[in-house]
Amino acid sequence: MPSVDLNNKVAIVTGAAQGMGRAIAEMLSAKGAQVAVVDTDENKAISVAERIKGVAITADVSKSEDVNNMIKIVMERFGNVDILVNNAGIVRTSRIENIDYDEWKLVLDVNLNGVFLCTKAVLGIMNAQQFGRIVNISSSAGRSVSTLGGAHYTTSKAGVLGFTRAVAKEVAPFGITVNAICPGLIDTEMVHQHCSPEQTQAYLNSFPIPRLGTPEEVAQLVCFLVSEAAYITGASIDINGGDLMI
Ligand SMILES: NC(=O)c1ccc[n+]([C@@H]2O[C@H](COP(=O)([O-])OP(=O)(O)OC[C@H]3O[C@@H](n4cnc5c(N)ncnc54)[C@H](O)[C@@H]3O)[C@@H](O)[C@H]2O)c1
């Protein structure tokens, strides 16, 4: 990748206290961006933000008042938003017969409605400056069916892909690109929590590249999309070791 320079860019990364979000926040910062580390986990967000000299913001992306407050803090601190990475997400593994309406709404609220709320919150700012880069972390689940998650998870991630395309088309005239990344199994807490080592190994054995992806590999793709990739928009980009080829 050509050397990426994100000096003078301001980035918001949701779900950045651990896992992929943390790797994305760290890499954007290493490339020069000023980063808002947004998460519901206040302590972990603070420790990431301290390390990268960013700002920690405690916010639940599914709550509009939290999202409004997040934007207020970012504008007060940095005066701008150039990059939004909608990464915050949760997984629930219940099969359809065990998904009650509350659990359904929880997963859709965080994984899909959170993407809507955060995107809406930054579009006016990006529109005014005629520049913006939005990257939505979907999943292979959005392209096919989730390995770990239930129907709500797959539905939410498929919804993110549709949202990405629809918004990308509308905002392209304003210099804003909107893309989705579809990771396969990535080595994070989410996988460790919901997948036994034996189950993980069985999945890996079936992958053309038989290992977990790393959060840093996803972060590199985000860096590319927010810097070099001015002609890519509305895309859903797979990063899954060849697990899914469609
Ligand atoms: N790990 C994988 O294999 C994998 C694969 C495909 C897609 N994804 C997606 O990638 C994203 C990151 O996943 P990860 O594996 O790093 O997960 P993770 O569980 O390790 O980290 C997720 C982070 O999001 C935060 N978060 C959860 N709900 C939130 C909310 N409502 N508001 C703000 N922050 C919230 C958590 O506190 C946590 O810090 C998620 O959207 C996930 O669905 C993960």
The pLDDT tens digits of the residues spanning 95-138 come to 999 999 999 999 999 999 999 999 999 999 999 999 999 999 99
Any ligand 1 atom below 6 A from CB of 154: no
State both tokens at 81: 């938003």
Kindly give the number of the ligand 1 atom that is closest to the alpha carbon of 153.
43
Q: What is the pLDDT of residue 3?
A: 74
Query: What is the rounded distance in angstroms from the CA atom of residue 44 to the CA atom of residue 15?
Result: 10
* Number of neighbouring beta carbons within 10 Å of residue 113: 17
Residue 1: per-residue pLDDT: 52
Q: Which of 20, 217, 238 to mutate to test the pocket of ligand 1 (most atoms within 8 A of CB)?
A: 20
Burial class (CB in 10 A: 0-12, 13-18, 19+), 234: middle
N- to C-terminal Cα distance for the chain? 25
CA distances from residue 193 to 91, 137, 190 in whole angstroms, order as listed: 10, 19, 5
Which residue spans within the chain are E strands per DSSP?
10-14, 34-39, 55-58, 83-86, 132-137, 176-183, 236-239
Q: How far is the CA of 195 from the centre of ligand 1 (A)?
A: 15
Q: Are strands 236-239 and 83-86 parallel, antiparallel or unpaired?
A: unpaired
Instruction: Choose, from 101, 153, 203, 231, the residue flagged as catalytic.
Output: 153
Task: Assess contact for 31 and 42: CB atoms under 8 A.
Answer: no
The 3-state DSSP composition of the chain as helix, strand, coil percent (nearest 5) reads 50, 15, 35
Pick one of 3.30.420.40, 3.40.50.720, 3.90.1150.10, 3.40.50.300 as the CATH number of 10-232. Answer: 3.40.50.720
Q: CA 56 to CA 49: how far, in whole Å?
A: 5
Give just the sign of the alpha carbon dihedral 21, 22, 24, 29. positive
CB of 176 within 6 A of ligand 1: the answer is: no
Q: Is 101 a catalytic residue?
A: no
Overall pTM surpassing 0.85 (yes/no): yes
Counting atoms of ligand 1 from 1, which one is nearest the CA of 190? Answer: 19
Distance CA(203)–CA(119), nearest Å, equals 33
Whose C-alpha lies nearest to ligand 1, atom 40?
Answer: 89
- State the pLDDT at residue 246: 78
Residue 19 CB less than 6 A away from ligand 1: yes
Looking at the CA of residue 20, tell me the nearest atom of ligand 1: 16
Regions of the chain with pLDDT less than 70: 1-2
Phi and psi angles of residue 225, each rounded to the nearest 5 degrees, phi first: -65, -30
- Pairwise CA distance, residues 68 & 96, whole Å: 34
Question: Ligand 1 pocket, 183 CB below 6 A?
Answer: yes
Q: Are 239 and 218 in contact (CB under 8 A)?
A: yes
Q: Is 41 in the pocket of ligand 1 (CB under 6 A)?
A: yes
Nearest residue (CA) to ligand 1, atom 24: 15
Ligand 1, atom 8: nearest CA belongs to which residue? 139
Q: Is 87 in the pocket of ligand 1 (CB under 6 A)?
A: yes
- 137 CB within 6 A, ligand 1: yes
Handedness of CA 173, 160, 59, 10 (dihedral sign): negative
